Amino acid sequence: MVNVEDIGNCEVCGEHRESGILRHGFFASPYLPVEDVNQEELPVTENSEDSCKQSSLSPSTAVGLDERMLLHAEVVMKSHPHPERPDRLRAIAAILATAGIFPAKCHSIPAREITKEELQMVLQSAKILDFCSHIFSNFLNASILRSTLENIEAVDITRLMLASYFTPDTYANEHSACAARLAAGLCADLASAIYSGRVKNGFALVRPPGHHAGVKQAMGFCLHNNAAIAASAAEAAGAKKVLIVDWGVHHGNGTQEIFERSKSVLYISLHRHEDGRFYPGTGAADEVGSMGAEGYCVNIPWSRGGVGDKDYIFAFEQVVLPIGVFRKQPFYLPSEDLPCCIGALDFNPDFTIISAGFDAARGDPLGCCDVTPAGYASMTQMWSAFYNLRSISSSATAVIKVGLGESHVIDIDNIVPSKSGLRSVLDVLKIQMNFWPTLETNFTKLHSKWGSYAFQDTTSVSLK
């Protein structure tokens, strides 16, 4: 992990600078050097020959990873290591290898650099350029296309620079453009492989991340929008409707910007918002889509930090699942144009993408939330990119195990949300039931049962 030589523990994640987390993932002690790892506690990796034989019998889980993405790194050494650093991928790869999951049990998807033409296709798949029926459309189309090309070229030109910044926290070096195109290309090919049935589901271990990258600029550690590119690839492979669920702690403002006018992509995001005070400030519940796509953007904004498993699972039960009925198996990334009165079964996506940032995980220093690996596994099973190395490796492992049919999840029966979580879900239901009538029943039942509790001022009442 990145660290200043004379400091014993990482100031971001607290790991001992010589711990074995980059070799054994969360099986290593966070306080002891790698030599002190108890080898007897490590899982036994199954015979690779038997594993390959099993995986060849039927489509299974695919994992994409390319070591060239590790070359994307901040050149300027600062007092604190950057949260989005190469060790994030190293930690995940270490635990997957130690646990005998990847490459032992999963198919490997090779990475390639996505083309400039494919990056531009994201706009076409989102129908951003298709405004012919609107006044000033020619000017608008030209302006958007020009901004998009400028952003693609701005990322590419960093190949010629030792170090550069798009924003104060979004860095690039001479390898960043290649890493970003590899991440995007891998996500596109993984989406195509899943939709075509060559594999059952998949997990893209990619960086830099993508959900803050929009039409016009790179920001928030993100250079190209990987989820949007995967959605475009799924559509190119034949998907008519794509669902993106984004459970990262920050709102995916870039993904929302790209698809807020699209008929074919539904974007659902669960994130900290705090009335716009939490980065990036977007993602309020009343941001529902525009220009006829109202209802195809669903934001579930948390009003505080510390949100954990119960609130996330409750939101999945009451909002995400009733809207996001799906057919195809999902793949994971670390998530339109109808007037009102659309039914949940009317969307019924052909393909589901989970924009799986794990920065809402317990112990993450930026997200400050409390979702556990079992919580992520539960959300994933209900369907069937985070900065603390221990949290990210354990959470990613739990999600991939669900794809393999191996993960243990928490009991989701009779989930009781926090008071603030309940209030957030009720606010979302009240807005979204105007577009998804199936939610009205949920709103009525919840408001009748818990409404007085949710909106009273005291904090001492117990939920029965």
Q: Is 70 within 8 Å of 182 (Cβ atoms)?
A: no
Q: Around 413, how many Cα atoms within 13 Å sit in the side-chain half-sphere?
A: 1
User: How is 218-282 classified by DSSP, letter by letter?
Assistant: -BTTBSS-HHHHHHHHHHHTT-S-EEEEE-SSS--HHHHHHHTT-SSEEEEEEEE-TTTTSTT--
Distances in Å between the Cα of 129 and the Cα atoms of 133, 134, 155 are 11, 11, 22
User: For residue 149, which phi and psi values (nearest 5 degrees)?
Assistant: -65, -35
Chain centroid to Cα 102, Å, comes to: 20
Distances in Å between the Cα of 350 and the Cα atoms of 224, 231, 319, 324 are 24, 11, 19, 11
Tell me the C-alpha distance between 113 and 178, whole Å. Answer: 7
Q: Which residues are catalytic?
A: 212
Region for residue 291 given its phi and psi (left: phi exceeds 0; alpha: psi -120 to 50; beta: otherwise): left
Distances in Å between the Cα of 389 and the Cα atoms of 94, 248, 330, 393 are 11, 16, 24, 6
Query: Which residues neighbour 73 within 8 Å (Cβ) at sequence distance 6 or greater?
Result: 2, 85, 86, 173, 175
Q: Which two tokens stand for residue 179?
A: 């890493």
Q: Is 429 within 8 Å of 320 (Cβ atoms)?
A: no
SS3 410: coil
Tell me the C-alpha distance between 407 and 384, whole Å. Answer: 12
Tell me the C-alpha distance between 270 and 251, whole Å. Answer: 7
Q: Which two tokens stand for residue 268?
A: 């659902």
